[in-house]
Amino acid sequence: MTTASPSVVVLGSLHYDIMVHGPARPRKGETVTGSSWYPKCGGKGGNQAVSAAKTGVPSHMIGAVADDDFGRALTDNLARRNVDHRFVKTVAGIGSGMSVAIFDGEGDYGAVIVSGSNLMLGQPDVDAAREVFTAGGVLVLQNEVPDHANVAAARAMKGVGGQVVLNAAPARPLSDDLAKLVDVVVVNAIEAEQLAQVPVDSLAGALKAATRLAERFSVVVVTAGGEGVACATREGEAFSIEAVKVELVSTHGAGDEFTGVLAAELARGCGIRSALDSANRAAAVLVSTPQQRDGRQM
């Protein structure tokens, strides 16, 4: 299908998250006493699909779960959040993806992910979902699934005239096959430092890293947490937007909220600056709002 209707297609990860709150993240060999824990449906792909759907733009998820309790919770969550999950397959012989995130008293966190079923995505899954790749669509990818799956999906979206957004997280070397298919790359400060070899400890540093990465990508977006966001294009445009000042509750999921809203705004036909303004505001709302447990506010 090549009808130019706005939509967001996410090929990516689905993780069942275990969220743990403590006074600090433990050092090597240390045990700390936490205050609470709760489950939450996530994965960068799942989060971004939900964030896009919240804007009212049709959102489609291509992913993989196992036939287990985690997998059923993940697909139920997508259904509740109005994400089309017809192309989330169930695989045998491996568990659903999951993660453990440990928060400190300041709202920052560290996490460990176990990819599980997310590693089973590939060309057959893209072929099965051909109907959702459209000329008006924006494809969102991340680095929590195999590179060859990302390449297959990017080729499908570019083949019908759509756009490709890559949230290059977690940081890993990008194949040339994928890089040449990406329209917009989104990275945080740490990922930008690793890819651009430029220190990112300020908004000016983020802009410098974005400008360097724009030598390789058409549009580069570097998120710098509480400082804001920087953008540079291959054509020479470069600008930054300061963060919306809010009282921080938790940074978890902020990057995914930002990326999902950015993709939805691009699908609507907004320019990059306008889309970034909307994404910046959405991330600010998320980090200042108590997190949710499987769709229920704490």
The string of pLDDT tens digits covering residues 216-264 is: 999 999 999 888 999 999 999 999 999 888 777 766 778 999 999 999 9
Q: Which CATH class for the 7-25+36-182+244-297 domain?
A: alpha beta
The string of pLDDT tens digits covering residues 21-68 is: 999 998 899 999 999 999 999 999 999 999 999 999 999 999 999 999
Contact status, residue 58 vs residue 52, Cβ threshold 8 Å: no
Give pLDDT, residue 225. 83
Q: How far apart are CA 135 and CA 130, in angstroms?
A: 12
CA distances from 99 to 36, 53, 67, 96, 115 (A): 16, 23, 17, 10, 8
The answer to whether 46 is a known ligand-binding residue is: yes
Q: How far apart are CA 122 and CA 68, in angstroms?
A: 21
The domain segmentation of the chain, as residue ranges, is 7-25+36-182+244-297
127 is catalytic: no
The answer to whether 136 is a known ligand-binding residue is: no
- Name the active-site residue from 176, 256, 277, 294: 256
Task: Give 202's contacts (C-beta < 8 A, 6+ positions apart).
Answer: 224, 227
Give pLDDT, residue 235. 94
The answer to whether 225 is a known ligand-binding residue is: yes
The string of pLDDT tens digits covering residues 109-128 is: 888 999 999 999 999 999 99
The answer to whether 150 is a known ligand-binding residue is: no
DSSP bridge pairs for 238: 232
DSSP bridge pairs for 140: 10, 165
What are all long-range contacts of 241-244, with beta carbons under 8 Å and residues at least 24 apart?
Answer: 241/273, 241/276, 241/277, 241/280, 242/203, 243/280, 243/284, 244/280, 244/281, 244/284
Q: What percent of the chain clears pLDDT 70, i.e. is strictly above it?
A: 95
Task: Give the pLDDT band of residue 2 (cuts 50, 70, 90).
Answer: very low
Stretch 83-89: mean pLDDT = 98
